[in-house]
Amino acid sequence: MLDRIVLIVLDSVGVGDAPDAAEYGDAGANTVGHIVERTGLALPNMEKIGFGYIKGTGLKPDPEACGAYGRLTEASRGKDTTTGHWEMAGLTLHEPFPTYPDGFPPEVIEAFEKAVGRGTLGNKPASGTSIIQELGEEHLRTGKLIVYTSADSVFQIAANENIVPVEELYDICRKARALLQGKHGVGRVIARPFIGTNAENFTRTARRHDFSMDPSGETMLDVLSAAGFDTLGVGKIEDIFNMKGITQSVHSAGNPACLDSLMDDLHKGFHGLCFVNLVDFDMVCGHRRDVEAYAQCLRDFDNFLPKILDELTENDLLMITADHGCDPTYTGTDHTRERVPILAWRRGMKGTIDLGTGSSYANIAATICDAFGLPQRFGAASFWPQLRRENDD
On the question of pLDDT at 393 being above 80, the answer is no
Residues 266-275 have pLDDT tens digits of 999 899 999 9
The confidence score (pLDDT) of residue 313 equals 94
Q: What angle do CA 321, 325, 330 make, to 5 degrees?
A: 150
The confidence score (pLDDT) of residue 227 equals 96
The confidence score (pLDDT) of residue 202 equals 96
- DSSP category for residue 292: H
Closest CA to 14 of 323, 296, 363: 323
User: 137 exposed, middle or buried (CB, 10 Å; 0-12, 13-18, 19+)?
Assistant: middle
- Mean pLDDT for the stretch of residues 201-214: 90
Helix (H) or strand (E) holding 29: none
Tell me how far apart the alpha carbons of residues 336 and 229 are, in angstroms, rounded to a whole number: 34
User: 386 exposed, middle or buried (CB, 10 Å; 0-12, 13-18, 19+)?
Assistant: middle
On the question of pLDDT at 382 being above 80, the answer is yes
User: Is beta strand 4-10 parallel, antiparallel or unpaired with respect to 272-278?
Assistant: parallel
On the question of pLDDT at 355 being above 70, the answer is yes
Domains of the chain: 4-95+216-387 (3.40.720.10), 106-212 (3.30.70.1250)
Give the other-Cβ count within 10 Å of 94's Cβ.
7
The confidence score (pLDDT) of residue 253 equals 84
The confidence score (pLDDT) of residue 212 equals 86
Residues 44-66 have pLDDT tens digits of 999 999 999 999 999 999 999 99
Share of the chain above pLDDT 70, in %: 99
Tell me how far apart the alpha carbons of residues 103 and 122 are, in angstroms, rounded to a whole number: 9
Residues 283-329 have pLDDT tens digits of 899 988 999 999 999 999 999 999 999 999 999 999 999 999 999 99
Q: How confident is the model at residue 102 (pLDDT cuts 50, 70, 90)?
A: very high
Give the other-Cβ count within 10 Å of 246's Cβ.
22
Cβ proximity of 140 and 163 under 8 Å: yes
Closest CA to 330 of 33, 19, 20: 33
What's the mean per-residue pLDDT of the chain? 94
- Residue 277 backbone phi and psi in degrees, to 5: -110, 130
The confidence score (pLDDT) of residue 389 equals 80
DSSP H helical segments within the chain, as ranges? 31-39, 44-47, 81-88, 106-116, 128-142, 166-179, 220-226, 237-240, 255-268, 280, 291-311, 363-371, 384-387
pTM for this predicted structure: 0.88
Tell me how far apart the alpha carbons of residues 188 and 241 are, in angstroms, rounded to a whole number: 10
Alpha carbon of 23 to those of 11, 100, 329, 360: distances in Å? 22, 17, 19, 18
On the question of pLDDT at 391 being above 80, the answer is no
The confidence score (pLDDT) of residue 152 equals 80
The confidence score (pLDDT) of residue 282 equals 93
- Mean pLDDT for the stretch of residues 17-36: 96
